[in-house]
A = this chain, B = another copy of it.
Amino acid sequence: MKVVALAGGFGGARFARALAESDAELTVIGNVGDDEEILGLHISPDLDSILYALAGIGDEERGWGRADETWNALDTVGALGGDTWFQLGDRDLGLHLLRTQALRKGEPLSSITARFARALGVDATVLPATDDELRTHVETPAGDFPFQEWYVGRRHEDEVTGVRYEGDAKAAPGVVEALANADLIAISPSNPYLSIGPILAVHGIRKAIESRRVPSVAVSPLIGGRTVKGPADRMLERFAGGTSPTHVAAVYEGLIDRLVIDEADAGEGDHIVTRTLMSDEAARRTLAGAVLEAAAVPR
């Protein structure tokens, strides 16, 4: 079964891994709205988290970056008076160096990502939503910030009053085709505005999902009405009017046929209920199973 997953943020990488561990033929479309230039290097945090999770080299506890990481380059940056607000590990840096160099030579991000996935032994297809520049900006009472400056630099403490996606981005090669050829479309349990929204803001992606002929399902990022990590619950409260499964499903109106929710949120509505916290391999298997079952649900 061909499954195309939209993935971003903390939940996106774990969800991609859960699906990759199933027998689905997986394509992951990754968010690049969080991309940032740090110390002159192009950083794609969500793509990297996906690659690292699929290659089994990610730090599972931290939820981002490489396992068995060291921080010596950043130590030097700090000692020399440079910016260290964005945590770049040494193993992680090697990838950023190569990608930045390749981008400067004109290679598209999608091509670089495919090369890295192959080199890391990743079987799934990993595609950035776009090869063009697309940047998520967060509006807060303290002002507007590029995503990473708000999320990392200001520890996502400012209340989000609005989200903008800047850039006139076309879908990367393979993205619309993958959606058109999928047997199932699956949206990861991620922040709908910050992690999934930028993917849907890319020209052609929303339309490709809206015009699908196959089932589409989203996994709610909430458990018991609250997020595992990040501000999704506060943002759903503000932008969708609440944190019930109905509110979450409404955010994806026209884009999904079913919502997968955690047992803690079970109640009204025709949702797929399972345990959604991907705490270990068994939990990932349970969630992937529930998601893949959605392929059989009549539209």
Interface of A is mostly: helix
Chain B hits for A76, CB < 8 A = 66, 91-95, 98
Copy tally for this chain in the complex stands at 2
A residues 95-111 near B (Cβ < 8 Å) are: 95, 97-98, 100-101, 104
A72 at the interface (CB under 8 A from B): yes
Residue A251 interfacial (CB < 8 Å): no
Q: Does A75 reach chain B (CB closer than 8 Å)?
A: yes
Q: How far is A104 from B80 in the complex, measured between Cα atoms in Å?
A: 17
- Of residues 45 to 85 in A, which have CB atoms within 8 Å of B's CB atoms? 66, 69-70, 72-77, 79-82
Q: Is the CB of A116 within 8 A of B80?
A: yes
CA distance A285 to B123 in the complex (A): 60
A73 to B100, CA, bound (A): 14
The residue on B at minimum CB distance from A116 is B80
- CB distance B119 to A91 under 8 Å? no
Distance, CA A101 to CA B90, complexed state (A): 18
Structural contact, A80 and B93, CB atoms closer than 8 A: no
Contact of A80 among B41, B70, B79, B120 (CB under 8 A): B120
Smallest Cβ distance from A178 to chain B, in angstroms?
A: 23
Shortest CB distance A184–B (Å): 31
A39 with B120: CB separation less than 8 A: no
CB of A229 closer than 8 Å to a CB of B: no
Determine the chain B residues whose CB is within 8 A of the CB of A104 once the complex forms.
Answer: 40
Query: In the complex where A73-B93, A93-B90, A94-B73 touch, is A80 in contact with B39 (Cβ < 8 A)?
Result: no
| Residues in chain B near residue A207, CB distance under 8 A | none
Alpha-carbon separation in the docked complex, A116 to B74 (Å): 15
User: Are the CB atoms of A94 and B77 closer together than 8 Å?
Assistant: yes
Report Cα–Cα, A115/B159, bound state, in Å. 38
A97 neighbours in B (Cβ, 8 Å): 39-41, 73, 77, 82
CB distance from A127 to the nearest CB of B (A): 18
Q: A76-B93, A90-B72, A91-B72 in contact; A81/B40 too (CB < 8 A)? A: no
Contact of A91 among B39, B66, B73, B94 (CB under 8 A): B73
Cβ–Cβ < 8 Å partners of A77 in chain B: 94, 97-98
Contact A91 B120, beta carbon cutoff 8 Å: no
**What are the 10 closest A-B residue pairs judged by CB atoms, nearest first?**
A76-B94, A72-B90, A40-B101, A90-B90, A73-B94, A73-B93, A77-B94, A82-B98, A72-B91, A39-B97
